[in-house]
Structure 1
Amino acid sequence: MKVIVLGAGVIGTASAWYLRRAGIDVTVIERQGGAALETSFANGGQISVSHAQPWANPATLLKVLADLGREDAPLLFRLRADPVQWRWCLQFVRECLPGRVAANLRRIVAIAEDSRRCLQELRFETGIEFDSLSRGILHFYTDQREFDKSQGAAAAMRELGCPRNPISADEVVRIEPALSNVRAQLVGGDFTASDESGDAFAFTSQLAAKGAAGGIEFCYNTTVTRLLNEGGKVSGVEIIDGVGRHQVLRADAFVVALGSFSAPLLAPLGVKLLIYPGKGYSATYRITDPDAAPTVSLTDDGHKLVLSRLGLRLRVAGTCELNGYSRELNPVRCEAITRRVRALFPGACDYDDPTYWAGLRPLTPSNVPYIGTTRYPNLFLNTGHGTLGWTMACGSGRAIAEIVSGRRP
């Protein structure tokens, strides 16, 4: 059996790895010159089951409405003359109903927990090094109302088996002493000792290299133009290769793992995905004082930022801008990240020379990804993982390999 995987981000590469392990002949198509050079390149680094609460919940909806018009708002919505954006937003509002939030949370936690186990097994099996730290994830709060509201989400996570436990402000500083500078502002936190962090780009690029050595064919600098449909099945994928040649590649099955770009590719085939790009920002700082920088991965819920120690770098990522497919950096939002990190950890990093980056997270209204079959018997989906692509990657990759192989994951 031959399978073509579209996309070599962390999701596509993990899909290819597990498909190959199932004995399948795999080719991966990627428009960039290597693996993980788009949305997987500079994300927040968290492998975070504890952060699995769907964005579609009443508290987020109220926050978006309250922050309308603020250029540096953690969640920035720019209204566009775009029917897809409108449909997405209407469904997002529907997913904020309490019953749907609870159902979506169960699905997301199930995928995320399974994926973390898969990652741990794969790390042991391959020996891949990716600046991983298994020191848990610490959510901290500087607003009493935000902390009080968070307790419902933390309790729901605990009911689902994720040990997201509330702690005092003093315990926050005990777990992460680098936060002692802002002890007076802290009101509390919650801590999940089982969560992890690591560099998604380092992981994905090494996994791709090991996969290539094991027989996976990676076609880089190759652009997918369309999927061909014949006789109710996908018969091939039309591409433009690295030297500009138009070709059609044939296979028995196709897995779409193109993130935000999955929806426009599939629309002509009548496969309608509700995925909208959420532009997320990150800043990477060189650590100048290792003792002053955090070693535990952090989530600053009030500012919608995550912080992960990656060796001698501090990666800070977050915020979300719903504004189409542009990856243009907004200086106001970039400066807001640095201002916040400098206030939290003064003197820890070189804040005068940050590396800013933006990627398009493939958001579904529910935050539940598309993993599985379509109306075409040989066309499969592994896309729409939103902010949790790194968290869900290995579990999603193994699941789609089982589905393609005709087994129930």
Structure 2
Amino acid sequence: MHIIILGSGVVGVTSAWYLASAGHEVTVVDRQSAAAMETSFGNAGQVSPGYSAPWAAPGVPVKAVKWLMQDLSPLMIKPTLDYNFYQWMSRMLANCTEGKYQVNKGRMVRIAEYSRDCLKALREEVGIDYEHRTGGTLQLFRTQKQVDGSAKDIKVLQELGVPYEVLDRDGCADREPALNYVKDKIVGGLRLPGDETGDCFKFTQALAAKCEEIGVKFMYNTDIDGLLTDKGDIVGVKTRQGVLKADRYLVCLGSYSPLLLKQIDMRLPIYPVKGYSLTLPVVDESRAPVSTVMDETYKVAVTRFRDRIRVGGSAELAGYDLSMPEKRRANVDFVVTDLFGGGGDMDRSEFWTGLRPMTPDGTPILGATRFPSLYLNTGHGTLGWTMSLGSAKFVSDLLCGRPTDIDPAGLSIDRYPFAYAS
């Protein structure tokens, strides 16, 4: 079977790997000049199943108002007349109930835990070097209120059997020795020892090379203009290089997925959430992190690669705007300097931005559609790297007609009754 994959980020390339490994002919199409040149390029570097949780949670609307009034706000909203934004926001707010939060977090952790296991298996199989570490994630609390508020997340972790450690100030510093310099700024933390770290860009580029070795064809510098339909099915992809035809089509275009699918009357509730990151070289090991530290106050993650520190965070709702105002560095600059000052060289830091494809319930959209030849693997929000391999393996199994390793309930587009035009 010939399968065309649209998108060569980490989700598209991992999908190509599993489908080609299953014996299919695979073509990957992307407008960029190489794999992982957009959202997969400069993300926070976390593979964090234990930290997988939807934005939509009880109390978030009130928190969001407070965030917007902070000097270093983790959330920014650009005024817009875009109807899609307000529709997405209303759906996200409708998921901010305790019951829906529990369901959505359960779905996300189900995918993410599976994905981490898939990553371990693939790492053993192909031996890719992507500067990975297995030191876990430390969610850092600056206030007692944050410690108390972590109880609901701990409850979900217990129900799902996810290992965790509740740490006091000294325990946090034991796990991340550089925090000894700033212990007075923290109260405690929640450590998720099963989490990992690694450079998503390096991983994706290395896996793309492995894909080519087993026959995957990559068509870079190829703009995708639309999908062709006939008799209720997809029959081709319109590109600037002509029409491409296959037996199956898999959309892995992240934030751009709804723009493509709108042309065939599919309404994916995905909105681009803009994030920023810094990458800086390590200059003092004693002041640098050893794994990932998530600052709960500012919603910024500080992750250690081999000889670099990646700082990722902020959530800006600004549509498809990819501009990088210098003032947007403030949040990520502050956190890395406040917690790990002197660990990296800020004068040589690289500033980056990308769009995270967020669904209103946090769960990606995986699997079949009402078009027999069309499948989806998109909408992973801030957790594309974390969920990529599990999502790819799951969708690959569906495409191949094999039983899936995880429960498919609630993962497809069918959970949105408005997804198809009437």
Q: Aligned residues, how many?
A: 404
Quote the residue 1:251 is aligned against: 246
Matched, 1:401 2:396: yes
1:190 to 2:193 alignment: no
Partner of 2:313, secondary structure, is: strand
| Residue of structure 1 equivalent to 2:410 | none
**Helix, strand or coil for the counterpart of 1:162?**
coil
Give the conservation status (yes or no) of the 8 Å contact 2:10–2:385: yes
Q: CA deviation at 1:190?
A: 0.9
Who is 1:383 aligned against? 378
How high is the TM-score relative to the length of structure 2? 0.94
Task: After superposition, give the CA deviation of every residue in 1:23-46 in whole Å (9 maximum; x if it has no partner).
Answer: 110000011110001000010000
Note if 1:144 corresponds to 2:105. Answer: no
- Checking the alignment, whether the CA contact within 8 Å between 2:9 and 2:37 is kept in structure 1 is yes
Quote the residue 1:51 is aligned against.
51
How far residue 71 of structure 1 moved from its aligned partner, in angstroms, is 6.8
Tell me, yes or no, if the aligned pair for 1:72 and 1:333 is still in contact at 8 Å: no
Q: Which residue of 2 aligns with 1:88?
A: 88
Deviations 1:299-343 (A, max 9, x none): 111110111111110001011001100111132221331122112
2:326 to 331, 334, 338: 331
Alpha-carbon distance in 1 for matches of 2:403, 2:320: 34
User: Does the C-alpha gap of structure 1 residues 408 and 61 become closer, same or farther in structure 2, counting only changes over 3 Å?
Assistant: farther
Q: Deviations over 1:205-256 (max 9, x none)?
A: 000000011100000111100000011110000112xxxxx40000011000
Q: CA deviation at 1:151?
A: 2.2
Contact 1:154 1:165 in 2 (8 A): no
Q: Which whole-Å CA distance do the structure 2 matches of 1:353 and 1:145 have between them?
A: 36
Deviations 1:261-313 (A, max 9, x none): 00010011111100000001100011111222111211111110111111110
The one-letter code matched in structure 2 to 1:400 is V
Residues 111-170 of structure 1, C-alpha deviation per residue, up to 9 Å, x if partnerless?
001000000000000000100001111111112212211222122112211112211111
Distance 2:87 2:35 in 1: 32
Give the aligned residue type for 1:187.
V
Q: Does 1:341 align with 2:317?
A: no
Q: Structure 1 length normalisation: TM-score?
A: 0.97
**2:314–2:331 Cα contact (<8 Å) kept:** no
> Does the residue aligned with 1:191 lie in a helix, a strand or coil?
strand
Residue 351 (structure 1) aligned with residue 346 (structure 2): yes
| Match of residue 243 from structure 1 | none
Is the CA contact (8 Å cut-off) linking 1:271 and 1:375 kept in structure 2? no
Asked if 2 retains the 8 angstrom alpha-carbon contact of 1:290 and 1:312, the reply is: no
CA distance in 1, matches of 2:110, 2:80: 34
Q: Does 1:159 align with 2:154?
A: no
* 5+ long unaligned stretches in structure 2: 405-422
Q: d(CA) in 1 for partners of 2:141 and 2:11?
A: 31
Q: Does the 8 Å contact 1:163/1:192 carry over to 2? A: yes
**2:396 and 2:157 mapped to 1: Cα distance?**
28
Secondary structure at the residue paired with 1:291?
A: helix
Matched residue SS, 1:229: strand
Say what the alpha-carbon RMSD is for the aligned residues: 1.1
CA contact (8 A) 1:154 1:166 kept: no
Contact 2:3 2:24 in 1 (8 A): yes
Counterpart position of 2:34? 34
Residue 297 of structure 2: SS of its match in structure 1? helix
109-118 or 150-159, which deviates more: 150-159
SS of structure 1 residue aligned to 2:150: helix
AA matched with 2:3: V
5+ unaligned residues in a row in structure 1: which ranges? 241-245
Pairwise CA distance, 1:58: 2.0
